[in-house]
Amino acid sequence: MTEEPAPAASPPLVGEWVRACGLQRADALALLRACAGISHAALLAHPEAPLPDSCAARLRQAAQRVRAGEPLAYVLGWKEFYGLRLQVGPQVLVPRPETELLVEFALQHLRPRQPAEVLDLGTGSGAVAIAVAAQRAHARVHASDRSAEALRLAQDNAARLLPAARPGGPLQWHLGDWMQALPEQAGPFDLLLSNPPYVAADDPHLAALRFEPALALVGARRSADGLAEIRALLVQAVPRLRAGGWLALEHGWNQAAAVRALLRDAGLRQVHSLRDLAGIPRVGAARAAP
Ligand SMILES: C[S@@+](CC[C@H](N)C(=O)[O-])C[C@H]1O[C@@H](n2cnc3c(N)ncnc32)[C@H](O)[C@@H]1O
């Protein structure tokens, strides 16, 4: 007896795929758009449309990566930060919304046409440096990182997102450990910004962050309180701040008091914390004596 050939499996329908893929709806919609070019509006209008064969395998693989815990931004290859679409990959931290606080702080302290020297320490994807440079065309913006791969990606992002000619000149890139990366003649700086590594070496949350670089999360100076890189940064950076210049540092949700104490110990004035949208103090800011 000859067996009937099994009927070819019909392609899944887009609405069914979104319900059954095992992802948060927002992540599923982002993948559907990136892999199949199907927008949220198209999904709502035609949930019964078949998923095109040409993208089903790509979509399955992308969904599998997200289910395995990889950040959606690495799977998509980009992350939006302060209205800019930054390329990201496993060589850099995925920029977080709370880091936009550093950009807002910078914009409050730099007038639109004011020439100023600004430095983003530990630039990663270039998020903070590029967002500030995009909004304050007259500022000379420097960016440093200890990771050569991160710095290359930041340079690509800047080349794509900033005008070729800006009054403040091109971004200045520096590879190395905090201020040791910079030539002696750079600065003094009107504004120092940093989202440094601040996760404690034994923090249990590190397991969930395993796809992101350890250098970005805990740094090379691993410490029990997560503050070793901030201590090293302050020792090197405060002497390069112009009189009256400002410094702002992102930190962990429970490190605000400790960071304010470090800023005072470094001889800075007007020490205060900035809160994120959830009301949690996430940035320590302070000023060099005028
Ligand atoms: C928390 S990530 C922040 C990246 C980016 N600024 C952002 O907010 O998305 C910290 C960055 O600091 C860099 N870094 C770590 N230790 C450093 C050091 N000693 N000197 C310079 N950069 C360092 C890491 O490579 C990483 O890119």
pLDDT per residue as tens digits for the range 177-223:
999 999 999 999 999 999 999 999 999 999 999 999 999 999 999 99
Which pTM does this prediction carry?
Answer: 0.94
Tell whether ligand 1 has an atom less than 6 A from the beta carbon of residue 223: no
> CA-CA distance, 101 to 103, in Å (whole number)?
5
pLDDT at 1 over 50: no
Q: Which residue's alpha carbon is nearest to atom 19 within ligand 1?
A: 177
Which of 80, 102, 123, 144 maximizes ligand 1 atoms within 8 Å of its Cβ, making it the mutation to test the pocket? 123
Residue 220 CA, closest ligand 1 atom number? 16
Q: Which two tokens stand for residue 159?
A: 């080349």
pLDDT at 2 over 90: no
> CA-CA distance, 158 to 164, in Å (whole number)?
9
Tell whether ligand 1 has an atom less than 6 A from the beta carbon of residue 99: yes
Assess contact for 68 and 101: CB atoms under 8 A.
no
pLDDT of residue 53: 86
Q: Which two tokens stand for residue 195?
A: 């989202």
The answer to whether the peptide bond before residue 188 is cis (omega within 30 degrees of 0) is yes
pLDDT at 6 over 70: no
- At 33-71, the pLDDT tens digits run 999 999 999 999 999 998 888 888 899 999 999 999 999
- At 142-173, the pLDDT tens digits run 999 999 999 999 999 999 999 999 999 999 99
Taking Cα atoms as reference points, which of 266, 151, 275 lies closest to residue 216? 151
Q: In sequence order, which ranges of the chain are alpha helices (DSSP H)?
A: 14-20, 25-36, 40-45, 53-67, 72-76, 100-109, 127-135, 148-161, 214-217, 228-237, 256-265
